[in-house]
Amino acid sequence: DQQVKQNSPSLSVQEGRISILNCDYTNSMFDYFLWYKKYPAEGPTFLISISSIKDKNEDGRFTVFLNKSAKHLSLHIVPSQPGDSAVYFCAASPSETSYDKVIFGPGTSLSVIP
Amino acid sequence: ETGVTQTPRHLVMGMTNKKSLKCEQHLGHNAMYWYKQSAKKPLELMFVYNFKEQTENNSVPSRFSPECPNSSHLFLHLHTLQPEDSALYLCASSQDVYGIFYNEQFFGPGTRLTVL
């Protein structure tokens, strides 16, 4: 059973609009969350992270929201650009030091339409 | 280009073959990782090396054998694989094992492995 779920395999958004990628997790011990982006034929690249002591973290056009009680996090991209088209992975870890316990979600493929 | 290279980029092998995947980084990193990404499945951490010493083996079958001769090179030796081992194998490196949390882990492009 997957501990980190991304229930939308794909998402299409018009350029300039908001993209919202969702992630749910089942393990209440997860305390640190990360988002990665992956282009075809390239390895994943780190995007943004959030610790459970926060409910929001922002970096430019990217904002991650965490709702611990609902075991849910989301990544907002505003405004969406065609270059954002990629697969986005959510990942979770029991702590900021549990490098060997990071669990990844299956990914959501985002297409931003010009 | 992240500074982490992997060869070959594509590999097709039979179940009785022995092959090796190679990963190289000249970023001065001390930690190196092997990940597996199967079709429609999440990325899975396989092995972690820190200062050439293996620190983690996430219950990976023995038909996968890692080797880290120095901090710049990491190999994954493959033998008697199964068709279900077909996947994208990604190598990554970071300054230390906590780099994954601080935007300091860099991935290679991966080797697409097909086992016939």
pLDDT in tens, A47-94: 999 999 999 999 999 999 999 999 999 999 999 999 999 999 999 999
Do the Cβ atoms of A43 and B90 come within 8 Å? yes
Check pLDDT > 70 for residue A12.
Answer: yes
Check pLDDT > 90 for residue B59.
Answer: no
Alpha carbons A56 and B102: distance in angstroms, whole number: 17
Q: Quick one: average pLDDT of B73-80?
A: 96
What's the pLDDT at B41? 83
Tokens 């409910």: give the residue. A55
What's the pLDDT at A98? 85
Looking at chain A, which residue has its C-alpha nearest residue B4?
A43
pLDDT tens profile A81-108: 999 999 999 999 998 888 888 899 999 9
Mean pLDDT, chain B, as a whole number? 91
Do the Cβ atoms of B101 and A43 come within 8 Å? no
Do the Cβ atoms of B105 and A41 come within 8 Å? no
Q: Which of A6, A10, A46 to mutate to test the interface with B (most CBs of B within 10 A)?
A: A46
Q: What are phi and psi of B15, to 5 degrees?
A: -70, -20
pLDDT interval class at B1 (50, 70, 90): low
Do the Cβ atoms of B42 and A43 come within 8 Å? no
Q: Return the higher-pLDDT residue of A88 and B71.
A: A88
Do the Cβ atoms of A32 and B101 come within 8 Å? yes
pLDDT interval class at A13 (50, 70, 90): very high
Check pLDDT > 80 for residue B57.
Answer: no
Touching check for B2 and chain A: CB below 8 Å? yes
- Shortest distance, CA B81 to any CA of chain A (angstroms): 23
All residues at 6 or more sequence positions from A71 whose CB lies less than 8 Å from its CB, including other chains = A24, A25, A26, A28
User: Do residues A8 and A22 lie in contact, with contact meaning Cβ atoms separated by under 8 Å?
Assistant: yes
All residues at 6 or more sequence positions from B11 whose CB lies less than 8 Å from its CB, including other chains = B19, B21, B111, B112, B113, B114
Q: Quick one: average pLDDT of A24-35?
A: 94
Range list of β-strands (E), A1-114: 4-5, 10-14, 19-25, 32-38, 45-51, 56-59, 62-67, 72-77, 86-93, 103-104, 108-113
All residues at 6 or more sequence positions from B102 whose CB lies less than 8 Å from its CB, including other chains = none
